[in-house]
Structure formats: structure tokens, C-alpha cells
A and B are shown apart, each in its own frame.
Chain A
Amino acid sequence: MSIRLDTIGKSFGGFTALGDINLEIEPGEFLALLGPSGSGKTTLLRIVAGLEFPDHGRVFYDGEDITDLKVADRGVGFVFQHYALFRHMTVADNVAFGLTIRKRRDRPAKAEIRDRVQKLLDLVQLGQLGNRYPAQLSGGQRQRVALARALAIEPRLLLLDEPFGALDARVRKDLRRWLRELHDRMGLTSIFVTHDQDEALELADRVVVMDHGVIEQVATPQQIYDEPASAFVFDFVGESNQVPVTVDGDRVIAFDRLLDVPPATLAGMGGAARLFFRPHDAEIVGEGANGLAATVTLVRPNSGSMRVEGKLEGSDRLVEIDVAQGAAPGQGERIFVRPTRAKLYAGTAG
């Protein structure tokens, strides 16, 4: 199912949760809404579901305007962060709920409901646990029950609000992979909300990065990581160093020292700017070259390479770079760091 959001806005009291969101989602896509808390990502998901209504703007499912349709009439699957299972019902009754409450003429026969519930429980690998109560299950199992329950009404759109947020790291990773498989196998369109960049980058076809109620970037995980559209995205996704600089023609000055940056970085820049680069996109150069002067404060192993932390001369800022295991400087040593791949954003440092 395709979804189109047209200038969606929403405020709570005086607080603007969402400001004029435009977004298109392709059928079969697995989309992540990524952002810090308060970025409006959950509100946006709830508006797509019909659990919340926008102050202005329209929501389209397959080109049809369903903005005013209530959640009960939209037929979407919604999975809550804290599962929201019905405690007084067995697992099987929970999964069957969306079917058993239907009007008699739309309701499948009892035997058929039982079959479908069993199939769904098998699908989420809980085939034997239909008679248990939610309280007797682990967190990961509960979330799978919640998923089976949402899938029982055969939605074409699956919405997940921080689906792995309440689970421990190990279970989260397994469930993540499994969810992606499920999405592909069932031909669903899925949107999930997360504040975990790893989760978004690993799972999604496209990632929507949000901050303060606006979309900062919509792109594939690779593009988000390699070509962050704004300083916020660079900072929020992946590890990064941030250095305030002044751009003067084709010269970049950082803390009164000339700094060599890759030439492409400079395009159209002038005046105060912020230079961003990833720890693995930098090298240590000799004193004669134009690099950032820093004093090494910490050296530690970091998955295959060495992470070097240094304090920049002339400021309190830290810089972090990754170097090959044999090439790490000693603690207290003076080094010069030059980014090999970087991005400049206009404005002063935040």
C-alpha cells in the first residue's frame, strides 16, 4: 500500500509537534522514522495510523484521502512499544481479538478463526504457547504475540512504535532480523519508529530522520550515513567530530591554524562554518602538514583498530579518530589530525 502525507501539521497546546510534513511511502517499503525523543516521529506514526488527527494536512492510502477515517476503520496493524496485550486473555484469544469482535456477517467461523490464530502463532514461532497468559511470556515473546495480533486482521500496512525499545540488546537483534524477513515474506508496507540509529540503518529501506517536528532527511541508510543532509543528521547518525572553522576563499582556518580539507568539501562555503568528519575518515599527519593540533588523552582498542581521543589545542573540544593498530600514538603525545573525508555546514557550532 502506498502512503502520501501532504503538509501534515500538529501541535499540542503551544508546542508544535509536527510542522508541515510531506512524505511519500512506496508499496512494500520498510521505512524507519528516526529521531531523538520529542522529534515528532511517534506523533507522525500515530497520525498515519489514525490514533491521532492532524491539525491540518491530508493522509492518503493508495491515493485515497482517509484523513478523517478512525483507526478502527483503517485496517492497519499497530504494534505498541509496551505490547499492550490484553492481560486477562490467553495468547490465542489476544491474537483472535480482531476477528472475534467483528460483526457476525464479517466474522469467520470459529474453526476458521482457530486455524488462522494457530497459523499466526506458528508464524511468530509461538505455536505451543496459545494457552498461556501474557504475564507468563518473556518480553520478546510478548512482542511477537502483539505482532501476530496485529497481523490477524490482515493489514496491508504495519506500523510499529519503538517495537524493540523495551527489550534487551540480544533479543532486540534477533527480533530485528526476523521482523525484516517477515516484512519481505508477507509483502507488507511497514513503518517503524525508533531512536536507535543502528536499528534504522540495519532494517529500513529508507530512513526518515526527524528533529523538532520537521524532516531533516529522507534517504537510504547508505546515503544517510555517507551524505548527511544537515549538521543534525551528521551528528545524530553515526559517530562524528565537530570542529568550528572559518572559511576564507579556499582556505579553512580552525583554531588559528590552517587546515587542509578535501577540496569538494568547500563548495559554496564562506565565513563561519562547522566541519564534521567521522573518526574513521581522518589520518594523523606530520607537523609540517595542515592538520588539527591535539594532545592525545586516551588510546583504546575499538573493533579492529585503535581509537585515539585528543583534546584540540586552543579549545576544550575532543577529537576522536581511528588509526591502524600499530600506528597509535602514545598518551600525552602531540598529534596533527587531517580529515580525509568531511562535510562543512554553514553556521556556528551548537
Chain B
Amino acid sequence: MRNGATSESRLARAVIMAIGLGFFGLFLLMPLLVVFAQALAGGIGAYLDAIVEPDALAAIRLTLLVAAISVPANIVFGIAAAWAITKFDFPGKSILITFIDLPFSVSPVVSGLIYVLLFGAQGWLGPWLAEHDIQIIFAVPGMVLATIFVTFPFVARELIPLMAEQGRDDEEAALSLGATGWQTFWHATLPNIRWGLLYGVLLCNARAMGEFGAVSVVSGHIRGETNTMPLHVEILYNEYNFIAAFAVASLLALLALVTLVLKSLLEWRYDYHGKGTGH
């Protein structure tokens, strides 16, 4: 049955859909189900025990702490970088645009190693830090730094095209009406970028909580102290404690699902507003 240049035969359509759905089921849906199935394999009681266990709680707390520090830091950096790139012309601008993507293109292990090289005992700043009794590597500050590094592009990348498209008119209008720099940002810039910003924050948060490689290098894996959830999952798994490992992993999977739902909602909102059809 052919009724147009782009219409495929029924068979071809079926095959294409089967391939798409098959891959989705095999590589996305099934693993997700396995996570929850394994987590609940010992019953609800064992599942809850694994989650309220002190080391697991410590890992959850640390994950939330790292995200609570690195996400706001990235909001500030992201807005500042996007602002600088889109609203001003300055030397080195194109280099900045290129390097904002660096954390995406480099292996997370390297991201972690950078900080070991900088702040580790044998690193450049190591002796000075030891002298002043400041510990960064194998401690929370190092993990926060590594997380900020790997999540750096999320907010900035979301905002740069948005702010570039919007230009400087709104800001200049606010300034010409007597607004201060802060009022201009608050009343003219932020409302225009809020949905894009939220979107970036959401992705940034998901990555901050889920980051493994970079954090693993600088963590030191001290149970109850420097383990985030992904690291905790790995340790439990290596100890053949599958139920506990999958129980904690299921929390991360839940986070992913919540993120996806919020992301879809935001995209819907974003589109709706992007078309300029009002409120």
C-alpha cells in the first residue's frame, strides 16, 4: 500500500517499529525493571532495611549535600558565563565558548585526576594545603569540585542560545527606564530565561547526583564519609550484597524517572511560551 513518496510499505513500517521498540525494551526498559525487581527480590522489608542502613543514609545525605552545593554554584557560573558570552564582546570569547564544553568531551576520570593533580598530596598545591591543614582530595570539597566540573556545561549551554536569540533589547529597555543592574537582571533577564534555566538545573542536578567517574577518583571511598550513592552502589555490588546494591540503585533510577517527567513537563511549558502565545 503506497500513497505517497514518504510512506513505506506496511512490512517496512512494522520492521522499523519492531527494531525501535525492541531496542527500547532490551536496552532501556528491561534493565530498569531488573533494577527494581532485584531491589525487591528480598521483599519490601529487606529493601527498606538496605535503604535506612546508616552507610546508605550517609551516602544519600552526602549525595544531596554535593548536589546542594554544586547545583547552585553551577547556576551562578552558568548564568554568568551565558551573560558574558551573549551580552558582551570581549577578547577570548570564542575560547570561552569552546572550553565550556570541555567537561562533556573529556572522560570523567580525567576530570577527577585534574583535581588530584592540583590538590592531592603530590599535587601542585598539595604541600601548601597540608601546611594549612586543608583536605580537599579524598574529602567532600574534592567531590564537590569534581561534580561542579563535570556539570559545568549544563546551565550555560542551555542559556547561551536562548540569551543570544533574545539579544540585549529588553535589558537596554529596562536600563533606559532607570533600572539598576540587579533590577534589570531580575525583571528583564531572568523572566525571559527562567524555563531554560530550570531545564538546565534539572539536567545538572541529575548529573550531579549520578556522577560516578570523576567523584570516584577524588572520593577515597570511605564508607559513611566520602561515599555518594553511585559509589555506595558499587561497593555493595562488589561485596555481592545485591539486594542492598539494587535498592540504592533503585533510588537513583527513581531520580532519573522523576527527572524525565519534569523534563517533559518543562519542555511542554517551554514550547508553549516559546511560541509567544501569552500566559
Closest chain A residue to B181, Cβ basis:
A72
- CA of A86 to CA of B166, assembled, Å: 12
Closest chain B residue to A132, Cβ basis:
B278
Say whether B7 faces chain A, with CB atoms less than 8 Å apart: no
CB <8 Å contact, B174 and A97: yes
CB <8 Å contact, B172 and A78: yes
Which has the most chain A C-beta neighbours within 10 Å: B173, B175, B276? Answer: B173
CB <8 Å contact, B176 and A87: no
CB <8 Å contact, A86 and B191: yes
- Please give, as numbers and ranges, the residues of chain B lying within 8 Å of A185 by CB-CB distance: none
- CA of A149 to CA of B188, assembled, Å: 14
For residue B246, give the distance in angstroms from its CB to the closest CB of chain A.
45
Contact of A51 with B191 at beta-carbon distance under 8 Å, contacts A101-B178, A135-B277 already known: no
CB <8 Å contact, B178 and A75: yes
- CA of A133 to CA of B192, assembled, Å: 14
Contact of A49 with B176 at beta-carbon distance under 8 Å, contacts A86-B187, A87-B192, A97-B187 already known: yes
CB <8 Å contact, A78 and B178: no
For residue B270, give the distance in angstroms from its CB to the closest CB of chain A.
14
Of A51, A82, A101, which is within 8 A of B177 by CB? Answer: A101
CB <8 Å contact, A76 and B176: yes
Q: How many A-B residue pairs have CB under 8 A?
A: 70
Mask, B140-176, CB within 8 Å of A = 1, is 0000000000000000000000000000011011111
- Please give, as numbers and ranges, the residues of chain A lying within 8 Å of B276 by CB-CB distance: 87, 135
CB <8 Å contact, A135 and B278: yes
Query: Which residues in chain A, 181-195, are within 8 Å of chain B measured between CB atoms?
Result: none
CB <8 Å contact, B177 and A98: yes
- CA of A81 to CA of B279, assembled, Å: 24
- Please give, as numbers and ranges, the residues of chain A lying within 8 Å of B191 by CB-CB distance: 86-88
- CA of A314 to CA of B87, assembled, Å: 54
Say whether A71 faces chain B, with CB atoms less than 8 Å apart: yes
Say whether A60 faces chain B, with CB atoms less than 8 Å apart: no
- CA of A143 to CA of B86, assembled, Å: 25
Say whether B179 faces chain A, with CB atoms less than 8 Å apart: yes
- Please give, as numbers and ranges, the residues of chain A lying within 8 Å of B183 by CB-CB distance: 101
For residue B27, give the distance in angstroms from its CB to the closest CB of chain A.
41
Say whether A348 faces chain B, with CB atoms less than 8 Å apart: no
Mask, A244-263, CB within 8 Å of B = 1, is 00000000000000000000
CB <8 Å contact, A101 and B192: no
Say whether A33 faces chain B, with CB atoms less than 8 Å apart: no
- Please give, as numbers and ranges, the residues of chain B lying within 8 Å of A98 by CB-CB distance: 177-178
CB <8 Å contact, B178 and A153: yes
CB <8 Å contact, A133 and B279: yes
Contact of A71 with B172 at beta-carbon distance under 8 Å, contacts A98-B177, A133-B279 already known: yes
For residue B182, give the distance in angstroms from its CB to the closest CB of chain A.
10
Mask, A70-85, CB within 8 Å of B = 1, is 1111011110101011
- Please give, as numbers and ranges, the residues of chain A lying within 8 Å of B170 by CB-CB distance: 84, 86
Chain B interface mostly helix, strand, loop or mixed? helix
- Please give, as numbers and ranges, the residues of chain A lying within 8 Å of B169 by CB-CB distance: 80, 82, 84
Say whether A136 faces chain B, with CB atoms less than 8 Å apart: yes
- Please give, as numbers and ranges, the residues of chain A lying within 8 Å of B279 by CB-CB distance: 88, 133
- Please give, as numbers and ranges, the residues of chain A lying within 8 Å of B177 by CB-CB distance: 72, 97-98, 101, 149-150, 152-153
CB <8 Å contact, A133 and B278: yes
- CA of A72 to CA of B176, assembled, Å: 5
- Please give, as numbers and ranges, the residues of chain B lying within 8 Å of A149 by CB-CB distance: 173, 177
- CA of A148 to CA of B191, assembled, Å: 22
- CA of A153 to CA of B156, assembled, Å: 35
Closest chain A residue to B170, Cβ basis:
A84
Say whether A102 faces chain B, with CB atoms less than 8 Å apart: yes
- Please give, as numbers and ranges, the residues of chain B lying within 8 Å of A82 by CB-CB distance: 169
- CA of A254 to CA of B278, assembled, Å: 63
Closest chain B residue to A77, Cβ basis:
B176
Closest chain B residue to A102, Cβ basis:
B178
Say whether B180 faces chain A, with CB atoms less than 8 Å apart: yes
- CA of A149 to CA of B192, assembled, Å: 19
- CA of A152 to CA of B176, assembled, Å: 12
For residue A188, give the distance in angstroms from its CB to the closest CB of chain B.
15
CB <8 Å contact, A72 and B172: no
- CA of A146 to CA of B187, assembled, Å: 16
For residue A88, give the distance in angstroms from its CB to the closest CB of chain B.
4
CB <8 Å contact, B188 and A86: yes
- CA of A146 to CA of B170, assembled, Å: 11
For residue A70, give the distance in angstroms from its CB to the closest CB of chain B.
8
Contact of A84 with B172 at beta-carbon distance under 8 Å, contacts A75-B178, A101-B177 already known: yes
CB <8 Å contact, B173 and A72: no
Which has the most chain B C-beta neighbours within 10 Å: A70, A77, A88, A149? Answer: A88
- CA of A283 to CA of B278, assembled, Å: 58
Closest chain B residue to A13, Cβ basis:
B89
- CA of A150 to CA of B176, assembled, Å: 8
- CA of A150 to CA of B175, assembled, Å: 11
CB <8 Å contact, B172 and A101: no
- Please give, as numbers and ranges, the residues of chain B lying within 8 Å of A75 by CB-CB distance: 178
Can you offer 13 A-B residue contacts whose CB atoms are under 8 A? A71-B172, A71-B175, A71-B176, A72-B175, A76-B176, A84-B169, A85-B173, A86-B173, A87-B191, A101-B177, A133-B278, A150-B177, A153-B178
New contact pairs (16) apart from A71-B175, A152-B177, CB-CB < 8 Å: A70-B175, A71-B176, A72-B178, A76-B176, A84-B170, A86-B170, A86-B173, A87-B276, A97-B177, A98-B177, A101-B178, A133-B278, A136-B278, A149-B173, A149-B177, A153-B178
Binding site for B on A (CB under 8 A): 49, 51, 70-73, 75-78, 80, 82, 84-88, 97-98, 101-102, 133, 135-136, 146, 149-150, 152-153
The list of the 3 closest CB pairs from A to B, nearest first, reads A98-B177, A84-B169, A84-B173
